[in-house]
Structure formats: structure tokens, C-alpha cells
Chains A and B, each alone.
Chain A
């Protein structure tokens, strides 16, 4: 079977599974939707962490920003936001289906574009930092956002915002959000698949392998870094917008900017699956999410401790992840040509040129 055919079958199979899942197991629709969000998390983290070598601990910033932007748009289109948040849910929001969908659509757009703008702005702040400073700096931005949103009364402060309720059947609602998550994840994957094949992908890898060399060769490193973050922000913002509506209630530190949960999951999933590859994040996210959902209730209060321990173990012993391990075992399959000659004499070299 040719590679193109295997790829086609693989993609087709996944899309089909994605379409069938919520109908085959409707009780798990929320979990499936969350799975697609996890995949999106991993793919977007890998842009900077895996492909570009900039390990961010603060990508969750765009998730939360998108969430708030969407919520404010959804409410703000028809009501006064300040009044709404001040009333703590006492204001009854009554939307028609048309109004709701319009609000949701515009909200998602605002989330995506607003996050990109934030990425452009904060890029100036964090891209002069390297290595661990970049990680801590991005963590700081995400933490600060969570803390400061908690003080901003307009968006509900520490009390948060409750989102408008879907005016229809709850099952339809679950399906709608499943579809949105599914499509968002697929779009992210497709976009990145295209992107990594262009010069952009090469430039990102060059920055990862030796940024100073890339600068010395005249590459516009700042442009690439900023656009990469903008791409991640775009998709993360959308995921935040959708998730906010899925949970129905936004709280700044727990829901919008959960740095020590979702924020660190992003990193862990990619490390598990193999960073710097297209499928690594997907595999890592799927494995992580499935195992987590299955074992969560059995761990009885030890879940988070297990998670922390998993991070430590993974980082120490298995950092290359599944795809990295596969690459080491079967390099030719991944297009890496290994020179198996044991000696290179100058005669061989001359003959080879």
C-alpha cells in the first residue's frame, strides 16, 4: 500500500471515528469534545515547544483570553456586560436560537482575533527571553492574567461570569459543542500540516536548532516567532471560547487560566507523544486524556499527585516521547537516512563527490 493511501485511510478513519463517536456513545460526548480540545492544546504547544524550541508554560493565557472575549461578546451584543456581571446571574438572559448562534459565532471570532492581537503584544514582552526565562516569563503572564482578571469587576472579578444558556435541547447543545471542538482540532491539524511543509516550518526548526546561527544568516527570527505565537493563540482562543460555553461558567483562576492543570497538561501530552512531530502531540493527547478519564475516579484523591509524579518520570526517563522513541528505532521510516558505513576514508570522500 502506498504512503498516500495509508495516509488517506488514516485521516479518513479518524474523521469517521470523530463523526460517529457522539452518536455511538452519547453519554461520553463531553469527554470526546474534551479530547479534541486536548489534541488542539498539544498541537498548539508543539508549535513553539517542539518545532521552535521555545518551551512556554503560559499558552493557557490565550485559552482564558479567548474564553473571556467570547463570553463578553456573547453577552455584550444584547445586554450591558457590567450590569450582567454585577447581578451575578440574576439577570435572566433569553436568547432566540438565531441570537445565540450569532453571539457564539461573533464571540468565537472575537476570541480568535483578540488572542492574535494579544500574542503580537505579549510577543514583544517575552521573546527577548530565552530558555527557562521564557518558560517562567510566559508562566508569569498567564498567572498575572488569572490574578488580574479576578480583580476586574467588569468581567465579574473573582466571582466570574456565567454564560448564556443554549436555547434548545441539552443533547443538541452537547452535540453542537462537540462538533465545534472536533472541527477546531481538525482545522488546527490541517493548518499545521500545511504550515510545517512550507519555508515557515524550516525556519522554525532552524530557530530551534541554533537561533544565533539563524540570526547570523539573516533570517527574520522575530517575525517567525511572533507569527508562530499568533497561530497558537488563534486556535487556543477558539478552544477557550468553546470550552467556556461547554462548562457554562467562567472563573478566572480555575476555569479560564488553570496554569497548573490544563496549562501543564499541554506540555506533558506533547512530551509523552513526542515533540517536534505532527502526530506526536495527537498521540500524546489521546493517550493522556483516555488514561486520565479512565483512571481518575479510581485514584481517589491521589490523581494530582500521580500527575505530578508522571511529569517527573516522563521528563527524566522518556522525554523523547513515543514518536521520538519510534524515530530512534526505525529512522528510515521517518525519512532520516542513516549512514551505516563504519569508516570514512578520504578516498571514499573523493569518490563520493
Chain B
């Protein structure tokens, strides 16, 4: 079993009296695809936001590559190699796709002088290759805001890859995508995982997608960890089925 890249231990988070996450512990293994599922309101996005640094957590510990990150802010965590995409796809609307990609190069090593440098041919080439990878090469000169919703999602994914992350957290990557295009997206996610060696941690509602992709799945319900295990185990777990059908 490879070492966990993300280790969440006993994390709790409340918003004004509502407990969004209660004592959650999970780990994301390196190089694998891990899934996070659960009915609406179970606290998945809150957990994502906690890991990514959007808000302080009430208690617990979050470790990334062995380092405690619970007190770090969003930018620092991103620079450590933990990148996330958003449920409501976020790209830079007024810039063209290529420039969206260029600004997404890793800023880990950036020193003050780098702020004023030009982009070299290597960066441009990489940007174009990644745009091609997601099938957006033909649109590279268009303003990102003019792309369709599905295309923007692909762009956001490409930008995330451009950032050379160690771990990519994806919040509902197939939501709102035309069903005929979902297979293409799954294929690219798996290739990113296998060829680029990026660990994936995915929130998904689409059971077909997540059961086929993930090697390990965590299921949340009512802010707590309900069950975890390989897809076959989760699919047949009575509690998971009940949680989704609302028996509780």
C-alpha cells in the first residue's frame, strides 16, 4: 500500500451551529484514484474546502505529503502541489484559452524576478499540448468566456494539469456535462492518473463514473463518514444505499 498523500484525521467543521463535518478521518493513497460520495448535504464540499484551505477547521489534523496543512492558506497549499477544481467551473473569462493555460504554470519556485519574465517557448508548447489533450486546441485563441460549459470544464481540467499538481481534487467533474462527452472526460482523467502520475481525489454524484474509476471510495452522510472501501463493497453496502434513498 503506497503512502497516503492526504491524511485527514478527526476533522470537524461547523457553520453557525450546523455541524458540516464531524470527526472525519480518511486517507488518499498516492498514485491512485480515490472517490468521495454521499447524498446532498453530507459535507463533501465542506471537507474539500477544509483540505484546500478555504476555512479553518474546528478540530483535527490534515496532512499533505506528511506536512500539516490545516493552518495554511489556499495559495500556500496550492503551491505545495494540491490543486482543486470547482463545482461551478472557474476559468479566467476575458483571457483566451492559451493565456489561461500560461498563467497556470506552477508558481512553486517563483521568485520576485519571475514576475517580470516572459513566457518561454517551452511553456507555450506545453500549454498547447495540454489543450490538445483535452480537445481544445482549435479553440486556443478564443476568449475562455465564450466556451460552452462543458468546454470550460475541460479547460479548467487542462489548467489544473498545467499546474503540475501532485494531487488533483475534483469537485463533481462530470456534473452538467453532456452524457455523450462523459466517456471522453473519464478517459482523460484516467490517462492523467496513469501517464502523468497524478493522484486523483474526486467528489462524484454519478455512480457509474465513480464506481468505474475509483480504486477506493469514501461515503459521507450527515457530516460523518459512513463507509469506505473498494467500489464493489460500497455498492453493496446497505447503509450507503439507505443513505442515498433517504431511509435515515
Direct touching of A and B (C-beta under 8 Å): yes
**A336 and B143 contact, CB distance less than 8 A:** yes
Indicate if A349 sits at the interface (CB-CB under 8 A). yes
Indicate if A200 sits at the interface (CB-CB under 8 A). yes
Q: Closest B-chain residue to A336, C-beta based? A: B143
Given contacts A205-B94, A218-B75, contact A352 B135 (CB under 8 A): yes
Q: Closest A-chain residue to B85, C-beta based? A: A216
**B92 and A209 contact, CB distance less than 8 A:** yes
B148 to chain A, nearest CB (A): 7
Instruction: Tell which of B8-16, B24-32, B95-103, B218-226 binds the partner.
Output: B95-103
B114: chain A residues within 8 A (beta carbon) = 199
| Segment 86-117 of B: residues with Cβ below 8 Å from A | 86, 90-96, 99, 102-104, 106-108, 110, 112, 114-117
| Segment 314-353 of A: residues with Cβ below 8 Å from B | 335-339, 344, 346, 349-350, 352-353
**A215 and B74 contact, CB distance less than 8 A:** yes
Indicate if B1 sits at the interface (CB-CB under 8 A). no
Indicate if A223 sits at the interface (CB-CB under 8 A). yes
B146: chain A residues within 8 A (beta carbon) = 338-339
A224: chain B residues within 8 A (beta carbon) = 115
Q: CB within 8 A of A209: which of B94, B110, B135, B137?
A: B94
A335 to B138, CA, bound (A): 15
Indicate if A208 sits at the interface (CB-CB under 8 A). yes
**A218 and B52 contact, CB distance less than 8 A:** no
**B94 and A220 contact, CB distance less than 8 A:** no
A109 to chain B, nearest CB (A): 22
Indicate if B163 sits at the interface (CB-CB under 8 A). yes
Indicate if A203 sits at the interface (CB-CB under 8 A). yes
A217: chain B residues within 8 A (beta carbon) = 78, 83, 103-104, 107, 159, 163
A349 to B178, CA, bound (A): 13
How many residues of chain A get a CB closer than 8 Å to chain B's CBs? 37
Given contacts A206-B92, A352-B135, contact A220 B110 (CB under 8 A): yes
| Segment 191-212 of A: residues with Cβ below 8 Å from B | 195, 197-200, 202-203, 205-206, 208-210, 212
Counting contact residues on chain B (CB < 8 A from A), the size range is: 35 or more
Q: CB within 8 A of A198: which of B83, B93, B117, B178?
A: B117
A342 to B181, CA, bound (A): 20
Question: Total A-B pairs in contact (CB under 8 Å)?
Answer: 113
As a 0/1 sequence over residues 168 to 196 of chain B, the CB contacts with chain A under 8 angstroms (1 = contact) are 00000000001011000000000000000
**A337 and B142 contact, CB distance less than 8 A:** yes
Q: CB within 8 A of B96: which of A210, A219, A223, A337?
A: A337
Q: CB within 8 A of A344: which of B141, B148, B163?
A: B148
Given contacts A199-B114, A218-B78, A220-B107, contact A209 B93 (CB under 8 A): yes
A200: chain B residues within 8 A (beta carbon) = 115-116
6 contacts between A and B (CB under 8 A): A212-B74, A212-B90, A216-B78, A216-B86, A218-B106, A220-B107
Beyond contacts A200-B116, A215-B75: 5 other A-B pairs, Cβ-Cβ < 8 A, are A199-B116, A208-B94, A215-B73, A216-B90, A220-B75
Q: Which residues of A contact B (CB under 8 A)?
A: 195, 197-200, 202-203, 205-206, 208-210, 212-221, 223-224, 227, 276, 335-339, 344, 346, 349-350, 352-353
Going nearest first, the 9 A-B pairs with the smallest beta carbon separation are A218-B78, A353-B135, A209-B92, A352-B138, A337-B141, A218-B79, A213-B90, A218-B107, A202-B103
